[in-house]
Amino acid sequence: EIVLTQSPGTLSLSPGERATLSCRASQSVSSSYLAWYQQKPGQAPRLLLYDASSRATGIPDRFSGSGSGTDFTLTISRLEPEDFAVYYCHQYGSSPRTFGQGTKVEIK
C-alpha cells in the first residue's frame, strides 16, 4: 500500500498569499496518477487536479500541480476567501487507492 504523507498539517495564510502544499509517497506513484481534492465542512471533496498537474473542469488557474515519482506539490498562487479548506492528495495508480491525511489551509 502506498502511504501518502501531506505537509504541513495546517497552513495559516492571508488572502492574496501563495500556498504551497506537499504530498510525499512511500513509493513511486505509477504514471503520476495523483489527484488533489478540496473539501469544505459538510461537503464532499471536489476534484481540483488529476494526473498530478491537469486541472479539472471549471477549476481556476490559480490552482496548479507539479511533481512525479514520490514528491508532489499543489500550489495556490493567490488565495481567495473561498480557498480556505482542507486539501487531500490521492493516488489511484496502485491498489488500494489511498489518500493523504490532509492539509488544512486556514485564515491567518
Partner 1 sequence: QVQLQESGPGLVKPSETLSLTCTVSGGSISSYYWSWIRQPPGKGLEWIGYIYYSGSANYNPSLRSRVTISVDTSKNQFSLKLSSVTAADTAVYYCARHPHRSSAIDYWGQGTLVTVSS
76 in contact with partner 1 (CB under 8 A)? no
Residues numbered 34 to 73 that lie near partner 1 (CB under 8 A) are 35, 43-47, 50-51, 56
Q: Give the β-pairing of 46-50 and 54-55.
A: antiparallel
82: left (phi over 0), alpha (psi -120 to 50) or beta: alpha
List the one residue from 7, 26, 30, 66 that touches partner 1 (CB under 8 A): 30
Prior bond to 8 cis, omega within 30? Answer: yes
Q: HSE-up of 5 (CA within 13 Å, CB side)?
A: 6
Check residue 88 for interaction with partner 1 (CB under 8 A). Answer: yes
Closest distance to partner 1 from the beta carbon of 14 (Å): 26
Closest CB to partner 1 among 33 and 62?
A: 33
Inter-residue contact 66 to 53 (CB < 8 Å): yes
Query: If binding is defined by CB under 8 A, does position 13 make contact with partner 1?
Result: no
Query: Which residues lie near partner 1 (CB under 8 A)?
Result: 1, 30-31, 33, 35, 43-47, 50-51, 56, 88, 90, 92-93, 95-102
